[in-house]
Structure 1
Amino acid sequence: MVKTAANPVARGLLYGVLGLAVLFYLLPLLVMVLTSFKSMADIRGGNLLALPEVWVLEAWAKAWGSACTGVSCAGVQPYFWNSFAITVPAVLISTLLGSLNGYVLTKWRFRGSEFFFGAMLLGCFIPFQVVILPMAQTLGWLGLANTIPGLVFVHVVYGMAFTTLFFRNFYVAVPTELVSAARIDGAGFFRIYWRIILPVSAPIFVVTVIWQFTQVWNDFLFGVVYSGGNTQPITVALNNLVNSSTGVKEYNVDMAAAMIAALPTLLVYVLAGKYFVRGLTAGAVKG
């Protein structure tokens, strides 16, 4: 009886602690959302957690279309689309290459494949700052400096180590006998990949796409180093907007711009978060 009575109490305490942790973690987001819907007069006269006296959308409209980000006063809209132009191809290319690399390293082993994988794995532990100068020189040689294709190239190269790791560890659990049987039947490299490997890869594709999308979209360092004025991602534009020293500091516009920059990754996690967890538990970080 004591054990039965204690369980609900312990469970209630656990849920209470978790609920407080969630509230504490989401508090900055709540402040951002509330501030973005307030007028400047409301911000000056109230407190951070107070609801707006009047809900207004002017800050969102200005952040999107007319706020000054440095010398440009076109809002964050062009940089938002720049981020999409960078993120989508970088995610697709690095994910596909990682899938092929993982397939080769697990099902088409060659002499030195383990050393090759270990060397590529080192790429996961190389800090961003180490590759800045060599990558800048490489982009100059290729004629891709200060361009969107150049940023796509940077993110593909840097992200391929992570995507290869994810897919390699997932494909280790795929029975090699299936590949061997397909070889005996005359199937080649790409036919085996298309008919056997790819159909079972949905969980790890979801994990890798979410991971890469988040990394590329939220990147600031590569964006500020390798982009020009018209090719900057939204993270750089947001930094320029917040640090602008001209005129009155409009905190509601800053918060609205920050929410606009965060919305794509928030939507990705809200819509596909459960598949991310399923992909991880299906073997994405095993091996």
Structure 2
Amino acid sequence: MNEKKSISVPRLAIIAALLVAAIFFLLPAWFAAVNSLKPLKEIQAGNVLGIPSSWTIQPWIEAWAGACSDGSACRGMSRYFINSLVVVIPATLISTAWGCFNGYVLAKWRFRGSDAVLFMLMFGTFVPVALFLFPLSIVFAKLNLSHSLVGLVVVHTLYSVPIALFFRNYFVGFPGELIKAARIDGAGLWIIFYRIVLPTAKPILAVVGIMQFTSIWNDFLFALVLAPSDQQLVTVGLNNLTSVQEDVPHYNTYMAAALIAGLPTLLVYIAAGKYFVRGLVSGAVKG
């Protein structure tokens, strides 16, 4: 007769720890979600963590198109949201594609100074954003980039150069014989990359692309200092919204605005999460 296997104490402890961590991590999201669907009076009455007794989407409408965030026209988060999309989409695509090519070159094409370049990229991963702010503000003023969001796209692309290390570590395991055979057949650097190497890079492209989108969308310092004052991004808009002095703080609107600000990264992960996991499992961030 087969006996039922009992769960060991260490395993129970691990499961319990994971559950506690998950609850702790999800609690702010739950807090924001339920309060964004409540009338303000219900929150003021003390119902903070419970299910709304009266459901409403008015806080979402207000947060998107009516909330005041800068003392001028009250247009909500919509303009900030669109500005962020204008920056994050090209910056993510360009930086990921550029990093992929750089990583391939560092992994498979030896050249004079390649070790020094690799060292500088590794060093660059530890340089904080704040170190770039003052020099970049001067460069922006000299090049007249402070009046357009194009400058932010350039900044995020350049600041993301060290992501080539992820691609380099991935391409190190790519069969060198295929590249040698292609070179013998007359294929050059670009042809080999585009036709032979790039089709195999889908896992690492998914991982780095999601990481880049999330990082650029959530950026605050570059957006605060370098974006034009009339074209601020969603993180700055959210900060401005919650900093506006009001006689009665509209907590439900603030919660809805916070969820709007975080929605794109959540949707990207939901849409491409399986590719992200596959990339991690296949060794996309190895080394």
- Give the TM bin, normalised by the shorter chain: over 0.9
Alignment deviations for residues 235-271 of structure 1 (CA, whole Å, 9 cap, x no partner): 0000000010134210000000000000011112222
Within 5 Å, give how 1:194-273 maps onto structure 2.
Answer: 194-273=194-273
Cα separation, 2, equivalents of 1:280 and 1:109: 27
Mapped partners of 1:175, 1:137: distance in 2: 45
Whole-angstrom distance in 1 between the partners of 2:180 and 2:282: 23
Equivalent-residue separation in structure 2 for 1:280 and 1:16 (angstroms): 25
CA distance in 2, matches of 1:262, 1:145: 26
- Report the Cα offset of residue 10 of structure 1: 5.3
Task: Give distance in 2, aligned partners of 1:241 and 1:121.
Answer: 38
How far apart are the structure 2 equivalents of 1:267 and 1:8? 38
User: Contact 2:59–2:252 (CA<8 Å) still a contact in 1?
Assistant: yes
Deviation, structure 1 residue 186: 0.8
Alignment partner, residue 95 of structure 1:
96
Assess if the C-alpha contact under 8 Å between 1:82 and 1:232 holds in 2: yes
- CA drift at 1:37: 0.3
Work out whether residues 149 and 228 of structure 2, in 8 Å CA contact, stay in contact via their aligned partners in 1.
no
SS of 1:249's equivalent in the other structure is: coil
CA distance, structure 2, for counterparts of residue 31 and residue 146 of structure 1:
38
TM-score by length of 2: 0.94
Runs of 4+ in 1 over 6 A off after TM superposition: none
Deviations 1:173-224 (A, max 9, x none): 1011110100001111111111111110000000111010000000011000
Q: Is the 8 A contact 1:173 1:283 kept in 2?
A: no
Q: Distance in 2 between matches of 1:117 and 1:14?
A: 39
Gap regions ≥5 residues in structure 1:
none
Determine the structure 1 residue equivalent to 2:105.
Answer: 104
Structure with the higher helix share, 1 or 2? 1
2:179 corresponds in structure 1 to: 179
Contact 1:206–1:279 under 8 Å retained in 2: yes
CA deviation after TM superposition for structure 1 residue 233, in Å? 0.5
Report Cα offsets for 1:118-173 as digits up to 9, x if no partner.
Answer: 112211110111111111122222221142101111111111212x1111111111
Q: CA deviation at 1:115?
A: 1.0
**RMSD in angstroms over aligned alpha carbons?**
1.9
TM-score when normalising by structure 1: 0.94
**Whole-angstrom CA distance in 2 between matches of 1:131 and 1:4:** 60
CA contact (8 A) 2:64 2:78 kept: yes
| Structure 1 match to 2:76 | 75
CA distance in 1, matches of 2:37, 2:258: 13
Map 1:3-82 onto structure 2 (within 5 A): 5-7=5-7, 11-72=11-72, 73-82=74-83
Q: Give the Cα separation in 1 of the matches to 2:105 and 2:277.
A: 25
Change (3 A) 1:109 1:4: farther
d(CA) in 1 for partners of 2:40, 2:15: 38
| Structure 2: segments with no counterpart, 5+ residues | none
Instruction: Provide the residue aligned with 1:128 in structure 2.
Output: 129
Per-residue CA deviation, residues 76-125 of structure 1 (Å, 9 max, x unaligned), is: 10110000000000001111110111111112210111111111221111
